[in-house]
Amino acid sequence: MNKAEDLPIQNARPVSARVPPGPKGHLILGVMPEFNSDILGFIERLKEYGDVVRARFFYVDAYFLYDPDDIEYILSSNAKNFIKAMSLRSNFFSRLLGNGLVTSEGEFWRRQRRLAQPAFHRQRISAYGEVMVAYTERLMASWLEEETRDIHRDMMRLTLEIVARTLFNADVSGDADRVGRILTEIVKPFASQATLKWILDNRLPTPAHLRFHRSVKQIDEIVYRIIAERRASGRDEGDLLSMLLQAQDEDGSQMTDSQLRDEVMTLFLAGHETTALALSWSWYLLGLNPKTEQKFHAELDQVLAGRKPTFADLSNLKYTEKIVKESMRLYPPAFGVGREAINDCGIGGFRIPAKAQVFAFQWVTQRDPRYFEEPDEFDPDRWTEELLAKLPKYAYFPFGGGPRACIGNTFAMMEIVLVLATIGQKFRLKLTTDLKVEILAAMSLRPKDGIRVSLQKR
């Protein structure tokens, strides 16, 4: 990559110069009106103007990257020149996640990452498998033949219970549905990022602002309860919460409840939301593709022969893993990543100034025909050794990448495969036709009104 001073003086041409004027195509006070109404369509259309596209939101320069090499540059090879995007420092994000792993920076982030990493080591993760399967079986015990259910709601409840038990040794069964309802409210404002409404709601006591803060306060109550119960018990459970409670700064001080809250909240939410979405979209795609579903069931019958799946079975559930990878290619739970340049740099032959916001979107790059044949088709069989050998590293990055790649990626992949296998052995989930599945692209890629399925015992 060339140094910034060796690159052309001009920046990438602004998209406003190439989009025909009209109610949905021109800049209004520096805000793209399309971004609010159709985020995914907006970032797809920007791709038509090149691999580095510049837009301006009010006073902020934003660069959209679509080439895997450029994405690797900001996430990995020159990651030191980038911090989290401005949006992650907004009032809403700060109130929700505080200074946890997703939002913190610098030495503080590195310290917290080192503290949390042992909870995600392979040996410890393997022990989580039994909990994942047991909780899945407990969920299925209440299911009835031909019953219609919102599988997204079920997966949200299940993954919340799993992450609470495995990482914090807490039982949140009584809170799971309530947390799901609160999260549905919390994500709504994030669908209007980069708009005037987003700025006003973040900075002023608007009704949306007040609703958001009330909702986060309700989640806080649950998280602080978990922390208080553990402090009161004085027990070392050997889990992530115990590690965080025992951690000390150089001066011997331990984390305050506020610091603990930020880390627990981050993993409590991120550790179940994205996994639940990957599961939900996997069931949706299996429901749309009966031939793939048949191959999925055949593998389960051959590998498991009716017994419970375990950690040891993961290496043999190869087709199930391909289903997960393909689902996250088409419907990545985290559909974009954002960074802010610390110093001027060069990306794709253009000079990117300090303070510029830089974005890359899994939603677009993972559907790029340059890297994937028939990119909009659900085809788990595409994941061959041949594809992996020729695929640019950042043509597929559902867990991000570089030093700030998702700390729980192995945990999540294991959980998704085990949950799919446990349910898939006993039930077929048939999509109902009474409700169209729509996407809500907000903080994550959610099914707007859930995914309704009819349960059919196998």
Mean per-residue pLDDT for 367-374? 96
Q: Which helix (H) or strand (E) holds 345?
A: strand 345-347
Domain boundaries, the chain: 4-457
| 315-351: pLDDT as tens digits | 999 999 999 999 999 999 999 999 999 999 999 888 8
What backbone torsions phi and psi does residue 455 show, to the nearest 5 degrees? Answer: -80, 130
Q: What is the pLDDT of residue 349?
A: 85
| 85-116: pLDDT as tens digits | 988 888 888 898 888 888 888 888 888 888 88
CB hemisphere CA count around 315 (13 angstroms): 2
The answer to whether 240 and 119 are in contact (CB under 8 A) is yes
Mean per-residue pLDDT for 31-51? 72
| 112-170: pLDDT as tens digits | 888 888 878 877 888 899 999 999 999 999 999 999 999 999 999 999 999 999 888 88
The CA-based diameter of the chain, rounded to the nearest angstrom, is: 66
What's the chain's average pLDDT?
86
| 388-408: pLDDT as tens digits | 999 999 999 999 999 998 888
DSSP state of 23: T
Contacts of 227 by beta carbon, 8 Å cutoff, 6+ apart = 241, 257, 260, 261, 264
Mean per-residue pLDDT for 236-242? 83
| 55-87: pLDDT as tens digits | 877 778 889 999 999 999 999 999 999 999 988
Distance CA 358, CA 342 (A): 11
Question: Is pLDDT above 60 for 8?
Answer: no
Name the pLDDT band for 416 (thresholds 50, 70, 90): very high
Residue 132 or residue 32, greater confidence: 132
Contacts of 273 by beta carbon, 8 Å cutoff, 6+ apart = 156, 159, 183, 333, 444
Residue 446 or residue 120, greater confidence: 446
Rounded to whole angstroms, what are the CA distances from 236 to 118, 124, 272?
A: 15, 15, 23
Q: Which of 206-215, 237-246, 295-304 has the lowest mean pLDDT?
A: 237-246
Topology annotation, domain 4-457: Cytochrome p450 (1.10.630)
Name the pLDDT band for 249 (thresholds 50, 70, 90): low
Q: pTM, whole model, 2 decimals?
A: 0.89
Q: What is the pLDDT of residue 23?
A: 32
Q: What is the pLDDT of residue 347?
A: 92
Which of 309-312's residues contact partners 24+ apart within 8 Å by CB, and which partners?
A: 309/133, 309/417, 309/418, 309/421, 309/422, 309/425, 310/129, 310/130, 310/133, 311/125, 311/126, 311/129, 311/414, 311/418
Residue in 37, 106, 41 with CA at minimum distance from that of residue 404: 106
Residue in 377, 386, 275 with CA at minimum distance from that of residue 333: 275
3-state DSSP helix/strand/coil % of the chain, to nearest 5: 55, 10, 30
Distance CA 65, CA 174 (A): 43
Q: Token pair of 170, please? A: 């807490």
Return the amino acid letter for 80: K
Residue 350 or residue 37, greater confidence: 350
Percent over 90 (pLDDT), the chain: 53
